[in-house]
Structure 1
Amino acid sequence: MSIIDRDLTTIAFCWRLERRDGVTLGFTTHDRDLMVDGLRYRAAPGMLPSAITQSDGFDADTLEVTGALTSDAITARDLAAGRWDGAAVRVFMIDWTDPEGENVAVARGTLGDVSVTGEGFSASLSGPAAMLDAPVVELTSPECRAILGDKRCRIDMAARTRITEIVAIVAEDVIDVASAAPGNAYAYGRLRWLTGPNSGLENPILASAGTRLTLRDTPAFASAVGDRVEIMEGCDKQFSTCVQRFANAVNFRGEPHLPGVDLLTRYPGA
């Protein structure tokens, strides 16, 4: 007999949240902590669900979750820094008298917009059907639509990625690292923090001059000399760059020679 068909109801909701950096937390509506599949689902701060809307069509499933901000679970600074953006969420029901027994899946997806109000927060859950809202056919563009190093670009990034450490803090968004490729190789690239308070977060790189990197945004937390980082070269997505720097014109995913929308309005001889 299913846990939802019993005369005596002993059901508790559970939420499993897994960040992109692998950190996983569990919460439950039960009044005591529960162990499920080796993960402790905490009753405090716990989470409260809204009505869950699901359908058998192609409409995206929706769910609103609210919870409390705590120093050792989900903090306002982590939410503002984007640590929980895109976190995988699974919602299910269990029998709290037998946590390791049957569980009934309710919803799954990724964490959407998060808002902080006072001592709590609320977040929306986007189910798998939300992916159907993405465009099926790409629009034409003079710039490359691939990401440097992905399966469409096919550039080997092993030699264009290095792990180094910060040797000087020039400004909030300007740092010096111990080693880097020469010139402006890291413009439009990314920096991933490996240690320090920003560990697990990423910052886009605006420009580089050898070992000096200028970040597009100020890091969420203060960085310090000695913090280890991973830096990856970038690309401005221009056809000339693809040809001259990467010798990868065959994999360029843009239309640099396609006439623009102003073709018919051009004067003869212009």
Structure 2
Amino acid sequence: MRAVPSALQAKLDSGVTTLARCWKVTRRDGVVNGFTDHDRDLVLDGVTCRAGTGFAGSEATSRFDLSVDGAEISGALADESLTDDDLAAGRYDAAEIETWLVDWSDPSLKVLTARGTLGEVKREANAFTAEVRGLADALSQESGRLYTVRCGADLGDHRCKIDLTAAGFRGSGAVVAIDGTSDFVASGLGGFADGWFSAGRLSWTSGANTGLSIEIKLHRVSGGAVRLTLWQAMAEAIVAGDTFTVTAGCDKRFVTCRDRFANTANFRGFPHIPGNDFLIATPAQGAPGNDGLSLAPPFLPG
């Protein structure tokens, strides 16, 4: 139940109000931006909610299953508040958003009306529209553990337990030459074997993409040159001299966990589960192996 300040409730009951809506958006990197549909800036709990951004919110309808249907916000892109580059770089993906009803004549009189996260963002010219997903959206996401042959953990997480800060699993380098939008020659990684960073993570430490991270599609060593291919293009163009750090990758197979990382005790997959071919297999007269023994494959050593 929302607690409405008595002074604000009195104004609501009077029928004559001085109300505005404010939005506080907290990005995953901790940056907080504020916006309002009022005609001047308002300060809300130390956050300046900017006016003149064209920010507006649609009506939100709540269904009996607690999901929020059709809620969205829209506004204009501006260098001093929210830029197209920020959206393209994913800095607002899954950002937390709070919607407040505020008395603009006394911003201390306020009430929180909604809280959620940003979903799909659409950009067109100098404007954007963002989907607002309610807290109940988390209940509709798939959860739990899947029984698969490959590992369900991510290399270096709390289930995998590999320390990616160790020297053997981490490197740093710089862009030497550009081969394509997401393909470049790198220096500083000559001590690592071919493919060591495939499926790993690259984080930019200088250049226009500083602070952004992306998954590595392919790490190749050929003719003494190290080439990295990213899964997608960065928000800003990569240029020679940009520096980065990289961490090792894993294809989540049991043999990789065993032979490359010696981490079978923490393998989170089920490599001995029979596959579809085994499940649909039927005996054939005269075929070898019809000896009455188990058809299950032998367990892998390690």
TM-score, reference length from structure 1:
0.90
2:88 partner SS: helix
Q: Which runs of 5+ in 2 are unaligned?
A: 1-5, 290-302
* Structure showing greater Rg: 2
Q: 1:4 to 1:225 in 2, by over 3 A?
A: farther
* Partner residue of 2:263 out of 239, 248, 258: 248
Query: Does residue 206 of structure 2 align to residue 195 of structure 1?
Result: yes
What's 2:47 paired with? 39
Are 1:182 and 1:209, in contact at CA under 8 Å, matched by a contact in 2?
A: no
* Partner residue of 1:152 out of 155, 159, 162: 159
What's 2:179 paired with? 170
Q: 1:194 to 1:44 in 2, by over 3 A?
A: farther
Q: Which moved more, 1:89-98 or 1:68-77?
A: 68-77
What's 1:182 paired with? 192
Aligned equivalents of 2:62 and 2:109: distance in 1? 22
Q: Which moved more, 1:78-87 or 1:102-111?
A: 78-87
* Partner residue of 1:142 out of 123, 146, 149: 149
Aligned equivalents of 1:262 and 1:5: distance in 2? 71
Aligned equivalents of 1:250 and 1:194: distance in 2? 34
* Partner residue of 2:254 out of 235, 239, 248: 239
Displacement of 1:58 in angstroms is: 4.0
Query: Does residue 28 of structure 2 align to residue 13 of structure 1?
Result: no
2:99 partner SS: strand
What's 2:293 paired with? none
Displacement of 1:226 in angstroms is: 2.4
- Count of aligned pairs between the two proteins: 268
What amino acid sits opposite 1:193 in the alignment? W
- CA RMSD in angstroms, aligned pairs only: 2.1
1:84-128 deviation digits (Å, cap 9, x = unpaired):
2112211112221222x2421111121101112343211111122
* Partner residue of 2:242 out of 219, 224, 227: 227
1:138 partner SS: coil
Q: 1:228 to 1:103 in 2, by over 3 A?
A: farther
2:176 partner SS: strand
TM-score, reference length from structure 2:
0.81
Aligned equivalents of 1:46 and 1:4: distance in 2? 27
Q: 1:261 to 1:202 in 2, by over 3 A?
A: same
Query: Does residue 71 of structure 2 align to residue 26 of structure 1?
Result: no
Q: 1:22 to 1:263 in 2, by over 3 A?
A: same
Aligned equivalents of 1:111 and 1:218: distance in 2? 22
* Partner residue of 2:132 out of 117, 125, 134: 125
Fraction of identical pairs, as percent: 40
Q: 1:30 to 1:230 in 2, by over 3 A?
A: same
What's 1:3 paired with? 8
What's 1:82 paired with? 90
What amino acid sits opposite 1:18 in the alignment? T
Displacement of 1:163 in angstroms is: 4.1
Aligned equivalents of 1:246 and 1:225: distance in 2? 33
1:158 partner SS: coil
What amino acid sits opposite 1:186 in the alignment? F
Aligned equivalents of 1:170 and 1:125: distance in 2? 39
Q: 1:144 to 1:203 in 2, by over 3 A?
A: same
Q: Which moved more, 1:149-158 or 1:205-214?
A: 205-214
Are 2:146 and 2:152, in contact at CA under 8 Å, matched by a contact in 1?
A: no
What amino acid sits opposite 2:231 in the alignment? R
